[in-house]
Amino acid sequence: MTDLDTAGTAIGTFLNGLASGESTPGGGAAAALTGSQAAALLSMVLNFTVGRKRYAAVEEEMRGHLLRTEEMRRELLAFADKDAEAFGAVSACFSMPRTTEEEKAARTEAMQAALRGAAEVPFAIASLCGELLELASPIGEKGNPNVVSDAATAAHLAHAALHSALVNVDINLKWLKDDAFVSKMEREAAALRASAEESYSAARAACTETLGVKI
């Protein structure tokens, strides 16, 4: 079996899981995988840029970006599993006994802790996607123009992944009783959405300028 065959099998297995009647993997994991693909595309543009004489003036900057996009690619891929684990922790709480008052209290405490984790994981995914959007602009502006269309694709994917992840944050916050935590997360999510729109606009403008095609 070739590497390509192995990759196809892994992707197919993941998609089969998404399509199944099971609760995991779900939207958060899909957002993480989408973000990881965005990071990979930015890395590709950078790999077509670094080490080439034509781009010597931006070599150091592009190498720094490449280190970060590769780091985020791995982090986001890992978050696909972490999101499934976080949701699994929530699901496990539903099977906890609740006959006595003590059992009910323990179940509620466990559920609240699990919901908090289920909100924090997709928020981390969204934050990484926000950083990818920030990088898409300088990469789209200074990267090898022959592959900047891939930077544009990365920007679209990162934008979609960010908003998809934040949906999963919002739905878990809805059931949390810790008002201070909920308010903090809502403020941070709002700030992330706002900064992401600015970064997305800048990335699209940079790629459009380089490509001569509106993206």
The CATH number linked to 140 is 1.20.120.680
Please check whether residue 16 lies inside any domain of the structure: no
Please check whether residue 10 lies inside any domain of the structure: no
Q: Residue 7 has what pLDDT?
A: 57
User: Phi and psi (nearest 5°) for 98?
Assistant: -145, 45
Please check whether residue 4 lies inside any domain of the structure: no
Residue 166 has pLDDT above 60, yes or no: yes
User: What are all long-range contacts of 96-101, with beta carbons under 8 Å and residues at least 24 apart?
Assistant: none
Mean per-residue pLDDT over the chain, rounded: 95
Please check whether residue 12 lies inside any domain of the structure: no
Please check whether residue 82 lies inside any domain of the structure: yes
Please check whether residue 165 lies inside any domain of the structure: yes
Mean pLDDT over 100-114 rounds to: 97
Mean pLDDT over 21-40 rounds to: 95
Residue 52 has pLDDT above 60, yes or no: yes
Residue 109 has pLDDT above 90, yes or no: yes
Range(s) of the domain holding residue 118: 23-211
Q: How confident is the model at residue 117 (pLDDT cuts 50, 70, 90)?
A: very high
Q: Tell me the per-residue pLDDT of 2-26, one tens digit each, with 9 for 90 and over.
A: 454 555 688 899 999 999 998 889 9
Please check whether residue 57 lies inside any domain of the structure: yes
Residue 180 has pLDDT above 80, yes or no: yes
Please check whether residue 195 lies inside any domain of the structure: yes
Give me the number of domains the chain comprises: 1
Q: Tell me the per-residue pLDDT of 68-99, one tens digit each, with 9 for 90 and over.
A: 999 999 999 999 999 999 999 999 999 999 99
The label of the residue with tokens 């929530």 reads 90
Using only C-alpha atoms, the chain has a radius of gyration, in whole angstroms, of 20
Instruction: Determine which helix (DSSP H) or strand (DSSP E) holds 41, and give its type and residue range.
Output: helix 27-47
d(CA 136, CA 134): 6
Residues above pLDDT 70, as percent of the chain: 96
- Please give the torsion angle defined by the CA atoms of residues 178, 197, 203 and 62, in that order, rounded to the nearest 10 degrees: -30
Residue 132 has pLDDT above 90, yes or no: yes
Tokens at residue 136, please? 């898409």
